[in-house]
Chain A
Amino acid sequence: MKQLRKWFAFGLATVVVLSLLLASCAPAATEVPTSVGPVVTDAPVVTESPTEPPVVEHTLTIAVSADIAGWDPVTSIYWLANEVIVNTHDTLVDYGPKTDANGNPVRDITNVVPNLAESFTDEGGKVFTFVLRPNAKFNNGDPVTAQAVKASFERVLSIPSLASWLLTDVAFVKTADQITVVDDATVKFTLADTNPIFLKVLAEMNMVIVNVAEIQAKGGATAEDQQKWASANPTGSGPYMLEKYEAGVELVLTANLNYWGEPPYYSKVVYKIVPDVQNRLLLLQNGDVDVVYEPPLKDYETLKANPDLSVYATPTFGTLFWWLPFNTPPWDKVELRQAIAHAIPYETIIKDVTYGYAAPALSWIPLGLEGHINASPYNYDLVKAAELLTTAGYPGGVGLPTITFYAKQGVPEEEQVAVYIQAELAKIGITMEIQPVALAAHSEKLASHEAGLFAFNFWIPYVPDPIYSEFWNFKFSESGCCNYGSFNDPSVDALIDKGLYELDPAIRNGYVEEVQRKVAAFVPSIPIYHPSWNVAMLKSIMGYSYYPDTLLRFGQLYGE
């Protein structure tokens, strides 16, 4: 009797634990694809077709820190998702390869070449005609037709996003009427005005061609459902297809056998989520992974010394901007912003924080883009900074409020830079407190252009063009990207607007230079430095080439 009671209680305890287990696990065994939930594993698996002779499998493994899903090119915001997009989709045009002055393999941004479009013509910088490749297919087998290309751009226009503004405001494709289907293989864009960078915009990753027919067929009834489906299911025509995505674990791309170009050497690309940075390096050094992005700069020399590794540090067009409040008193006094710009120890920061892997920012447009001039008069000069404070009516910083600086959590370099700046500002009598905030809160503060905001924004122009950069950063805007201080100068806006349609490079460069000079005088933001983009990979991997958007194109890589 007593014995029985005991076993009963024990059994009950076991049942409680087991039921808990089963309740959470059992349904996982029968994971039924639903139309509501995006099912990533549904992607067609062509590689397993028995009639195909087995190809030699080469797998490329990349250790990355974290993953955020979302493979809709129109709404994608996360760089890893962007990389998946550029490898599973195609842009109509691309940049040709070249080698830069330091011998790094990079893209020639002056040389736009055909890609998904077999050829293109440019009539007066206003009418562009693209002839599509006859053998181009989406990875579900549908042919890439002129109608499909038009539908893809129409989709961009229909979803309010960074991509749609890019198309309407920068590329001058305001409505779908401007895109005409000439025949099944030919599509024509008639722009609202002349546009010198239209082709560069089309080479940008947001402008890849998606299979709208497939999205509409599989995505569900409402636009919202279709958007949800599209963000989980890439539908492009690129060299790779998404085979498997297990959030937080791995993401697997397999070669698209329908691909119109050369089949890629690596038939499989695996992203492995390895949150700990030191582990990523250990895995690379032991050869268990092939590629690691952005290794910590302090470990850079060690990695370079390793004979088994290739380490690429390529200068970028990216800039770390410090946005200052343009309209909030007392910081609306230009002398105060100039004083701050003189108080920043630029060289020390590059030396200590980036270990030298960054270029000094001499202007608001980086060296390498057309029209760049050494516009910034702001060197590290505390005497001058103090003088400017006095001019502004705040000698020794007396009477100035404390600056609250918002540091993005999880980006240690930015916080380190802030600490250096904090120390220097203290010397001229300005106190700054650093307040870490979560990524989303940081984004909100930036996007809403919060009054009195002091925050960093790292800007990298996916379209490598100075007017493009100036359009986003210095044209007046009360919210959104990326004029976070709400800098407002009508003459600057006019120059940018003219630059957007000016075809003559000399005149255009004149505008670019003028904008830099004006911005330098107003200091709505301070460029801190231009970082390099760093990739470490096994020496046996060849074919790496740096793109202005930093994303790797796996189709170009091959093994020894």
Chain B
Amino acid sequence: MSEPLLKVQDLKIHFSTFYGVAKAVDGISFEVQHGEALGLVGESGSGKSVTGMAILQLIQPPGKVVAGDIIFAGKSLVDYSEKEMQNVRGSKISMIFQNPRTCLNPVLTLGRQIDRVYLQHNNVTPAQASEHRLEMLSRVGIGDPIRFSNNYPHQVSGGMCQRAMIVMAIICEPQLVIADEPTTGLDVTIQRQIMELLAEMRERMNETQILITHDLGVVAETCHRIVVMYASRVMEVSPTRQLFNEPLHPYTIGLLNSIPRVDIDEQPTPLPGYVPNALNRPSGCPFHPRCSRAQERCQVEQPELVPVKDGRSAACFFVEK
């Protein structure tokens, strides 16, 4: 196996707040291979979005990366200066966010917002940037790119905003695109189009993608592999098919049972209890208060994420090796 594009190693991110230190990410590790689509799945508050921001080194105070390493194309991003990171962001790694309308600058035209990304990272004239932009807009399915470019975000639909943001994210042909809940805040019909567009772009532009979502249904269709996060930690890493067919971790199992399925005629059973507060994580395995298989050991000892089989790993004492 070749060197992975991205390696996250034992990453810890803490937020110091008035009430104490919140461990938003508490020692997670995973890898992303070239050309792969990786799903980062978890309930809200599990630390998946923070992980995405950490890859771009965009954790804002009071948050802080306290330990761990992020290695991108063989280089540690943690050691990069702010200046060097600026050259990585948007150019080599970029990110797509949820609620696209709020993520675009309301006072600049869409065209200008796209152009300035391209101009920032490429030594081209504004005319060249404009030409490139029109081409890219056509590619993402915008009918009248010139008119579209002259619009302000409030003048187009949410789906159109997301397309504009996707163009901004991929216009410099980055190696890695992180999409953080890219369909949240969009109409259901549009959601599908956007997901298809992302998949299409990945293939056509030879991208690697990380898809951050709480929706297992979304990743099932688009991702090669899935990282399941719970309460700031990784619970399980599996290729998509195996994960759905044979979930290893009790949390994954609970998660799968909680979603309605068309293929099996069964009522979904929601997971009992709540995701614990980030300020006050349970001792031992963070899932043990909600876990049906939990034993005394789970309350004291924290299970490590360990390889199980077929390139899968899980963090549970009761998963068979």
Contacts and interface: CB of A to CB of B under 8 A. Distances in A.
A440 interface: no
Contacts of B86: none
Interface string B129-161: 000000000000000000000111000000000
Interface in B18-60: none
A209 to B, nearest CB: 74
Interface in A1-53: 1-2
Contacts of B109: 2
Contacts of B152: 2
A306 B201 CA distance: 88
A4 to B, nearest CB: 11
Contacts of A2: 109, 150-152
Interface in B76-133: 109
A418 to B, nearest CB: 58
A2 B152 CA distance: 9
A319 to B, nearest CB: 72
A1 B152 CA distance: 12
Interface residues of B, number: 4
B144 to A, nearest CB: 14
B156 to A, nearest CB: 13
A127 to B, nearest CB: 92
A417 B310 CA distance: 103
A214 B150 CA distance: 73
Contacts of B151: 2
Nearest to A2: B150
A2 B109 CA distance: 9
Interface in A395-447: none
A531 to B, nearest CB: 67
A48 B305 CA distance: 102
Nearest to B155: A2
A9 to B, nearest CB: 14
A329 to B, nearest CB: 73
A1 B150 CA distance: 8
Interface in B165-207: none
B183 to A, nearest CB: 29
A2 B151 CA distance: 8
A160 B152 CA distance: 75
Contacts of A1: 150
A1 B109 CA distance: 12
Nearest to B150: A2
A8 to B, nearest CB: 16
A3 to B, nearest CB: 8
A419 to B, nearest CB: 54
Contacts of B150: 1-2
B114 to A, nearest CB: 16
B201 to A, nearest CB: 29
Nearest to B152: A2
A407 to B, nearest CB: 57
Interface in A106-137: none
A103 B152 CA distance: 86
A92 to B, nearest CB: 79
Nearest to B147: A1
Nearest to A1: B150
A241 to B, nearest CB: 63
Nearest to B151: A2
B93 to A, nearest CB: 32
A1 B151 CA distance: 10
B153 to A, nearest CB: 13
A309 to B, nearest CB: 62
A1 B146 CA distance: 12
A1 B111 CA distance: 14
Interface string A499-518: 00000000000000000000
Nearest to B109: A2
A2 B153 CA distance: 13
A2 B150 CA distance: 7
A253 to B, nearest CB: 60
A123 to B, nearest CB: 94
Interface string A135-150: 0000000000000000
A5 to B, nearest CB: 11
A92 B2 CA distance: 118
A349 to B, nearest CB: 63
B259 to A, nearest CB: 45
A32 B152 CA distance: 53
A474 B15 CA distance: 88
A1 to B, nearest CB: 7
A42 to B, nearest CB: 57
A523 B109 CA distance: 86
A62 B152 CA distance: 63
A1 B149 CA distance: 12
A1 B147 CA distance: 10
A68 B151 CA distance: 62
A347 B130 CA distance: 90
A2 B147 CA distance: 11
B220 to A, nearest CB: 42
A2 B148 CA distance: 12
A2 B111 CA distance: 12
Interface string B243-254: 000000000000
A35 B152 CA distance: 60
A515 B71 CA distance: 111
A7 to B, nearest CB: 14
A452 to B, nearest CB: 67
B107 to A, nearest CB: 10
B110 to A, nearest CB: 11
A346 to B, nearest CB: 68
A228 to B, nearest CB: 58
5 contacts: A1-B150, A2-B109, A2-B150, A2-B151, A2-B152
Interface of A: 1-2
Going nearest first, the 5 A-B pairs with the smallest beta carbon separation are A2-B150, A1-B150, A2-B109, A2-B152, A2-B151
